[in-house]
């Protein structure tokens, strides 16, 4: 097999080849670095390329040669969303304020992936501090959708999704606060899951909104995501909100689901509020086809209503900015990061203000100001307090829904990938892009997106969201794997098989 073909293999295939010594991790890693060199000009998925990648791969090869059993994914390259701290690479959250910052620790999830023999390829692009749905708010220029480089790859984790969909990495780390794994997966035809809140450690993940953030896997198929999930999730004493729970293997659940070929006995809930107005016709059509497919495979389809989902986006855009305004206060030019002095005699207060003005982009400033307002004395009860109550109501909606259905499904995003520049100056239009994904974060439940086809009107990928109850991540993976198999059978292959593999250079990075 030629080196260039390696990049089109899945993570589990690569792992098998490496384990069977048909190819070395170093070769696989080099193939991906070559691919990055070839397509990055058009895609711009990465903010930083790991110079130590090949050495790290060789170290894994040496361990494998000595017979050491590392993990099922040993030797496989991985892309890391630049919201995660890495000791050997700058960790910037795509912000000017953290340009060049190298943390003294790895995020727990990154440390675990290294221990498992995964090879970091580099850091992927995102909207600054993960605030956005398009990567257009990255301080280092947007990433581009491999299906059409004039379009956004989703956000905030557009870099990770684009890297995977452009065959630059078989798997990638994402983080999901209101859909930042699932929406990019949907619009790039890739796969992404957000674990139950507390399933993956947040230690070393640069905080956006602490009560919503969750790290998860991005990949090209469900099994790869599940294998990767097993590598980095699990209890971490450094994160108080981490769940001390004996998680079953997600890979096992995914394998079981893929083998099953039937959904008999499964109650699938279709959320009425997540399939209505504002959804692109091609998205609705594919979703309806999927429901038919599931019915044909034996699933019992139940319509569930979640009346408070209509308030989820409003509550989210109060809770997130409030937490973020506080989490981002630490960027003050004292202990790390950028310092800008407006003049020589400036006081620390003036230096802090000038640094934050220069170091933060427009969306970050917008949300900090919004969050500051929402928490202010006099407005707290009407805004933040009410938003927390809505959160309770959304949780109750989910409880009721999961009493009737084992899993819930909906389109993962209301539309296919929009054009770069189309919504960047219209915050409300950008925010409404997250209506399908936000409820899961508000309730902490696991949710993922897998591709379900290409929209008729524009030929762009569309994702289906699968949601399960708290700690039911294994059920989510199992159902996702079954649906993936059914879809592949119906379409004669996966959505990504149809993805372009070379890209015209357009404009390049901003």
Catalytic residues: 81, 156, 180
CB-nearer residue toward other proteins: 16 or 372: 372
Q: Count the neighbouring beta carbons within 10 Å of the beta carbon of residue 485.
A: 17
Q: Classify each residue of 75-98 as buried b or exposed e, where b means 16 or more C-beta atoms within 10 Å of its C-beta.
A: bbbbbbbbbbbbeebebbbbbbbb
Q: What are phi and psi of 220, to 5 degrees?
A: -105, -5
Least gap, CB of 410 to other proteins (angstroms): 19
DSSP lists the bridge partners of residue 215 as 175
133, 143, 219, 325: which one contacts other proteins (CB under 8 A)? 325
Q: Least distance (Å) from other proteins to the CB of residue 191?
A: 23
Q: Is 1 in the site for other proteins (CB under 8 A)?
A: no
The window from 226-234, 267-275, 385-393, 414-422 that contacts other proteins (CB under 8 A) reads: 385-393
Q: Residue 86 is encoded by which pair of tokens?
A: 């890495």
Beta bridge partners of 193: 448
Of 363 and 484, the one with the shorter C-beta distance to other proteins is 363
Among 21, 288, 380, 403, binds other proteins (CB under 8 A): 380
Cα(234)–Cα(85) distance, integer angstroms: 18
Residue among 80, 258, 390, 407 that touches other proteins (CB under 8 A): 390
- Residue ranges in 222-261 that form contacts with other proteins under rule CB under 8 A: 237-241, 243
Strands of the 119-124 sheet, one edge to the other: 46-49, 119-124, 77-81, 171-175, 215-219, 191-194, 447-454, 461-467, 407-411, 267-271, 300-304
Should residue 272 be labelled a site residue for other proteins when binding is judged by CB under 8 A? no
**306: Cα separation from own chain's centroid:** 24
CA distances from 140 to 134, 171, 375 (A): 13, 22, 30
CB of 317 to other proteins, least distance (A): 5
- Is position 318 an interface residue for other proteins (rule: CB under 8 A)? yes
Distance, CA of 145 to CA of 165 (rounded, Å): 8
For position 488 contacting other proteins by CB under 8 A, the verdict is no
- At its nearest, how many Å lie between other proteins and the CB of residue 176? 12
Q: Which is nearer to other proteins, 393 or 488 (CB)?
A: 393
Contact 115, 104 (CB under 8 A): no
Nearer to other proteins, 21 or 238 (CB): 238
Coil/strand/helix, residue 101: coil
List the beta strands (DSSP E) in 112-180.
Answer: 119-124, 171-175
Phi, psi of 148 (to 5 degrees): -165, 110
Residues between 294 and 313 with contacts to other proteins, criterion CB under 8 A: 308, 311
Residue whose CB is less far from other proteins, 385 or 500: 385
Q: Which of residues 158-197 bind other proteins (CB under 8 A)?
A: 196-197
Biggest alpha carbon distance in the chain?
74
What's the closest the beta carbon of residue 171 comes to other proteins, in angstroms?
21
6 binds other proteins (CB under 8 A): no
3-state secondary structure of 462: strand
Task: Give yes or no for a contact between 147 and 461, defined as CB atoms under 8 angstroms apart.
Answer: yes
Per CB under 8 A, which of residues 193..222 are in contact with other proteins?
196-198, 202-207, 209-212
Q: Which of 30, 272, 365, 498 contacts other proteins by CB under 8 A?
A: 365
State the alpha helices, DSSP H only, in 328-426.
348-359, 362-375, 386-404
Measured distance CA(406)–CA(21) in Å, rounded? 42
CB of 173 to other proteins, least distance (A): 13
C-alpha 174/C-alpha 83 separation (Å) is 9
Judged by CB under 8 A, the residue of 309, 383, 418, 503 near other proteins is 383
Is 424 one of the binding residues for other proteins (CB under 8 A)?
no
| Contact (Cβ atoms closer than 8 angstroms) between residue 298 and residue 266 | yes
Give min distance, CB of 430 to other proteins, in A.
Answer: 11
Residue appearing with tokens 């949601």: 467
- Cβ 273 to other proteins, closest distance in Å? 13
DSSP-derived 3-state class of residue 508: coil
- Whichever of 35 and 202 has its CB closer to other proteins, that residue is 202
Q: Which two tokens stand for residue 21?
A: 């010594």
- Look up residue 509 and give its two tokens: 């990075």
State which residue, 296 or 382, has the beta carbon closest to other proteins: 382
Q: Which of 322, 438, 455, 479 binds other proteins (CB under 8 A)?
A: 322
Minimum distance from residue 382 beta carbon to other proteins (Å): 6
Residues 9-68 that bind other proteins (CB under 8 A): none
- Residues from 84 through 123 that contact other proteins (CB under 8 A): 84-85, 91, 93, 98, 101-105, 107
- Cβ neighbours of residue 298 closer than 8 Å, sequence gap 6 or more: 262, 263, 264, 265, 266
**Which range binds other proteins by CB under 8 A, 43-51, 391-399, 485-493, 494-502?**
391-399
Segment interacting with other proteins (CB under 8 A) among 22-30, 173-181, 338-346, 410-418: 338-346
The answer to the question of residue 385 lying near other proteins (CB under 8 A) is yes
Binding pattern for the stretch 431-470 against other proteins, x by CB under 8 A and - elsewhere: x---------xxxx-------------------------x
């Amino acid at each position: 097999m030629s080196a260039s073909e390696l990049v089109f293999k899945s993570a589990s295939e690569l792992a098998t080849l490496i384990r069977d010594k048909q190819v070395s991790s170093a070769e696989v890693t080099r193939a991906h670095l070559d691919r990055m060199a070839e397509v990055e000009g058009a895609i711009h998925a990465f903010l930083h390329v790991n110079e130590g990648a090949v050495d790290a791969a060789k170290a894994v090869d040496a361990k494998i040669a000595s017979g050491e059993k590392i993990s099922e994914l040993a030797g496989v390259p991985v892309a890391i969303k630049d919201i995660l701290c890495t000791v050997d690479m700058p960790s910037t959250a795509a912000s000017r304020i953290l340009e060049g910052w190298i943390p003294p620790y790895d995020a727990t999830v990154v440390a675990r992936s290294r221990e498992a023999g995964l090879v970091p390829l580099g850091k992927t692009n995102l909207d600054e501090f993960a605030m956005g749905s398009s990567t257009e708010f990255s301080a280092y220029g947007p990433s581009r959708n491999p299906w059409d480089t004039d379009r956004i790859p989703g956000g905030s984790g557009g870099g990770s999704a684009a890297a995977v969909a452009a065959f630059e990495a078989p798997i990638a780390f994402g983080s999901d606060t209101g859909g930042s794994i699932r929406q990019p997966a949907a619009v790039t035809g890739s796969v992404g899951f957000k674990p139950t809140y507390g399933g993956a450690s947040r230690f070393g993940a640069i905080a956006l909104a602490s009560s919503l953030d969750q790290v998860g896997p991005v990949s090209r198929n469900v099994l790869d995501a599940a294998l990767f999930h097993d590598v980095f999730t699990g209890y971490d004493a450094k994160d108080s909100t981490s769940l001390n729970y004996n998680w079953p293997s997600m890979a096992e659940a995914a394998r079981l689901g893929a083998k099953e070929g039937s959904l008999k006995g499964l109650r699938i809930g279709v959320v009425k509020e997540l399939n209505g107005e504002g959804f692109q016709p091609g998205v609705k059509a594919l979703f309806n086809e999927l429901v038919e497919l599931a019915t044909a495979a034996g699933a019992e389809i139940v319509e569930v209503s979640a009346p408070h989902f209509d308030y989820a986006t409003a509550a989210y855009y109060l809770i997130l900015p409030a937490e973020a305004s506080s989490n981002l206060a630490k960027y003050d030019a004292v202990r790390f990061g950028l310092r800008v002095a407006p003049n020589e005699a400036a006081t620390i207060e003036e230096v802090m203000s000038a640094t934050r003005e220069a170091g933060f982009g427009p969306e970050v400033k917008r949300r900090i100001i919004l969050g500051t307002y929402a928490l202010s004395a006099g407005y707290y009860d009407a805004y933040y307090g009410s938003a927390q109550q809505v959160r309770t109501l959304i949780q109750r909606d989910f409880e009721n829904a999961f009493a009737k259905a084992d899993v819930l499904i909906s389109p993962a995003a209301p539309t296919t990938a929009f054009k770069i520049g189309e919504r960047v100056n219209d915050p409300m239009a950008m925010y409404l892009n997250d209506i399908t994904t936000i409820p899961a974060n508000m309730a902490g439940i696991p949710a993922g997106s897998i591709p379900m086809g290409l929209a008729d009107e524009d030929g762009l990928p569309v994702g289906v969201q699968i949601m399960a109850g708290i700690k039911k991540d294994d059920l989510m993976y199992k159902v996702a794997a079954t649906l993936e198999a059914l879809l592949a059978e119906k379409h004669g292959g996966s959505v990504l098989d149809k993805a372009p593999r070379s890209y015209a250079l357009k404009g390049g990075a901003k």
